[in-house]
Structure 1
Amino acid sequence: MAGGRTRATILGFAGALVVFAILFTVAGVDDLVSNLRNADLRLVGLVFLATLGWLAAWGFSLRTVLDVLGVSVSIPQAFLVFTGAMFSNNVTPFGQAGGEPITALLISRTTDTEYETGLAAIASVDTLNFVPSITIALIGVAYYVTETTLGTNRRLELALVAVAVLAVGVPSLVYLGWQHRYRIEARVVGVLTPVIRAVAKRAPRVPVPTVGGIEHRINGFFRAIERVAANPRGLALALGLSAIGWFFQMLGLWLAFQAIGTPIPLSIALFVVPIGAIAGVTPLPGGAGGIETVLVVLLVAAPLPAVTEPIALAAVVVFRGAVYWTPTVLGGLVVTVLGLRSRG
């Protein structure tokens, strides 16, 4: 299993490099380098500070969810655990979907709690983070509707349709899932139990769990999700912190354009950052390459005559350089230290 995951990660990064090569070629490497050389380093530093603000807000959101589940964790611990979570997302294919199992293990080791509780916590945080992103994106949609003639811009029109579909479709699916959660739980138990036992039989030094033990853990995951959903105060606080985190990301993109010397309205960032994040579900690790491409396409399609492809790409490189590499480096250190401790 470890070998298969490593191969998938290597292939994912190889795919990301291909996407970056195409993107850089289309935008123009010379123009990109020139724009980056002329960037205001003080403003670039502010982009990294905004990134830390984002990590802190979402780390505190994770702490809030863990508190609802009865797991105590300090603010510094929550920040470090969340950076570790982002590291997992950034180095595994399919972003959050690929990184959540690793993050759950990280939470379990850090807080000395059960694995399924950690998985429920990070799954809840990821789900809650979606709500403010679509709400903020809809605000950006309202801006575009008033400022742009949609019929003249096919790319922008498709992006707005995507936002509308997500705004309606995802909450509907979540609602239906919640209404039929016990039926879903029974099916998950039925499907995963034989798979988990088969994998455990082949894995060296891994005890084969009993059917009852597997059912208990899966049931524990669903009960933890219910506890989070049944706590209005905790939900409201986590949603508020999530919105603050999104604002810091959008501020980071806005500051990146300031650093390049081509300012854009903050309302543009309100729209393109959440839509760009959707590309994180691609097989590329952390959405690397995919997110950058979507951001550049949306920014060039926006009613901003001064924003050409080289300028948009330069700003996106500064922004994503902070948002991707800051948690990857910090989180990698966290995961490494925890790994060494567990071996010791």
Structure 2
Amino acid sequence: MPEFEFSNRKKSLKKILPFFVIGIAIVFLLAAITGVGEIFRAVSQIDKRIYLLAFIVQVSAITVWLVKWKILTKAAGLEVGTKRMFPILLSGIFVNTAIPSAKVGGEPLRAYMFSKIGEVPMDKSFASVAADRAVDGIPFIFILLVSLPVIVFAWNLPLYAVILLLIISVFVIIGIISFLYVCLRPKPARGLIKWLIRRLRRIISKFRPVKYVERKAESFMKDFGEGAKLIWGSKKHVASALTLSSLYWFLSIFRMWLVFLALGQSVSFGTLGLALALGLILHMVPIPGGLGLVEGVYILIFGAAGIPPGTAFTAAILDRGISFWFTSVFSAGGIAWSGLKLSKSWES
């Protein structure tokens, strides 16, 4: 039996479908609350050429992501062709975009596929993917820190909303910094993993001997640490990756700005940065891509920024048409190609 199975796809789809339906229902409810007439008026104002440009910007952002990851793999001493890496990256994007709790599953899948299809050591593969996401965390923190003061002082928000925004932001920043620390200092992480294994030894013992798991974890973390050290030690590659990560986030915000421009509406980058940040956090909920919830948060944020309800809803739907629907379809080709490659490797 292969290590990774695609045979459970039907079961996964059955689990996802009810949440997907809930997400669609929330979108329709938001449309009803906003008012169909207002939405149609906003839709009639769309500049199709500018909206098409937003699609191009999204593809450009994904391309920038690929170049960034390639730079980090080179820092780890890995040389894998773009024709292999691009579909693998798309596979991770598909899981991150379309599957509930995606931000947990997309990166391990990408690391696994990169190891098998790219024929590289698993520890270096995982180190390159971890470094890729860690680098993204730095500009993300910057976006939050810049957006929050602008929103808090410019908008007349109730105290509870300000406190909630601050609490969410603090937890997100702590999470990102903790992940960065693990990537930069793998040795302390080894101690944490040992502690977790001891805590979960009863559950682990039902599947594998605890000592075996401890040895495997120790070996993996040691090799991962060496790969991470190699990557982070190359300041030139890390600096280039950080620059490209900043460009990726800028393009994501610019895409949203173009959507509003297509509707003839002006909106500040601070507002868009906050919407993007909170939208990504909501991807953690057990609904594909935070469907319905992300749109709802967008509408609240855009509405608080003085955008008319019809325009706010239409902008949210149009942007999600690119970031969620288009990206899901676009990246599905990558996971199909990668799955086919894996199947052939198992057969041989």
Name the TM-score class by shorter chain. Answer: 0.7 to 0.9
CA contact (8 A) 2:72 2:131 kept: yes
* Partner SS for 2:78: coil
Q: 1:159 and 2:181 equivalent?
A: no
Aligned match of 2:281 in 266, 278, 281? 278
Query: Cα gap change, 1:262/1:153 in structure 2, threshold over 3 Å: closer, same or farther?
Result: farther
Change in Cα spacing, 1:219 to 1:34, as seen in structure 2 (3 Å) is: farther
SS in 1 for 2:136: helix
1:261 to 257, 261, 264: 264
Match runs of 1:85-100 below 5 Å: 85-100=92-107
Alignment of 1:296 onto 2:299: yes
Q: Is the 8 A contact 2:190 2:221 kept in 1?
A: no
Change (3 A) 1:154 1:27: farther
The equivalent residue for 2:194 is 186
Code of the residue aligned with 1:235 in structure 2: it is: V
**Which whole-Å CA distance do the structure 2 matches of 1:235 and 1:195 have between them?**
39
Q: Is the 8 A contact 1:16 1:288 kept in 2?
A: yes
Q: Distance in 2 between matches of 1:195 and 1:7?
A: 26
Runs of 5+ consecutive residues of structure 1 not aligned to the other structure: 202-209
Q: CA deviation at 1:214?
A: 5.8
Q: Is the 8 A contact 1:32 1:313 kept in 2?
A: yes
Q: Deviations over 1:73-114 (max 9, x none)?
A: 344544433222111212321121032232223322331123
For 1:39, give the aligned amino acid.
Answer: I
Counterpart of 1:207 in structure 2 is none
Pair 1:220–1:327, CA change in 2 (3 A): farther
Q: Is the 8 A contact 1:229 1:235 kept in 2?
A: yes
Aligned partners of 1:315 and 1:271: how far apart in 2? 15
Distance 1:181 1:255 in 2: 42
Q: Secondary structure, in 3 states, of the residue corresponding to 1:180?
A: helix
Aligned-pair Cα RMSD in Å: 3.2
Deviation of the 1:157 alpha carbon? 5.5
- Cα–Cα, structure 1 residues 197 and 223, in superposed 2: closer, same or farther, change >3 Å? farther
Q: 1:295 to 1:118 in 2, by over 3 A?
A: farther
What is the 5 A alignment of 1:59-78? 59-75=66-82, 77-78=84-85
* 1:112 alignment partner, SS class: coil
Name the stretch that deviates more: 89-98 or 112-121.
Answer: 112-121
Q: 2:45 aligns with which of 34, 38, 53?
A: 38
Residue 139 (structure 2) aligns with: 132
1:205 maps to none
**Contact 2:90 2:335 (8 Å CA) reproduced:** no
List alignment gaps of at least 5 residues for structure 2: none
Measured after TM superposition, the shift of residue 244 of structure 1 is 0.6
Contact 1:32 1:311 in 2 (8 A): yes
* Letter of the structure 2 residue corresponding to residue 41 of structure 1: K
Change in 2 beyond 3 A, CA 1:290/1:73: farther
* Pairing 1:173–2:173 present: no
Distance in 1 separating the partners of 2:163 and 2:199: 40
Q: Map of 1:114-133 to 2, 5 A cutoff?
A: 114-133=121-140
Query: How far apart are residue 253 of structure 1 and its match?
Result: 0.6
Check if 1:105 corresponds to 2:112.
yes
Identity, % of aligned pairs? 20
Structure 1 residues 326, 89: closer, same or farther in 2, change over 3 A?
same
Kept after mapping to 2: 8 A contact 1:43/1:256: yes
**What TM-score, normalized to structure 2?**
0.82
- The CA deviation at 1:193 is 8.6
2-side partners of 1:120 and 1:280: how far apart?
Answer: 23
CA distance in 1, matches of 2:192, 2:64: 32
Give 1:300 shift: 1.1
| CA deviation profile, 1:244-300 (whole Å, cap 9, x unmatched) | 111001001111011122222333223321222111111122332222222221111
Q: How many residues align?
A: 332
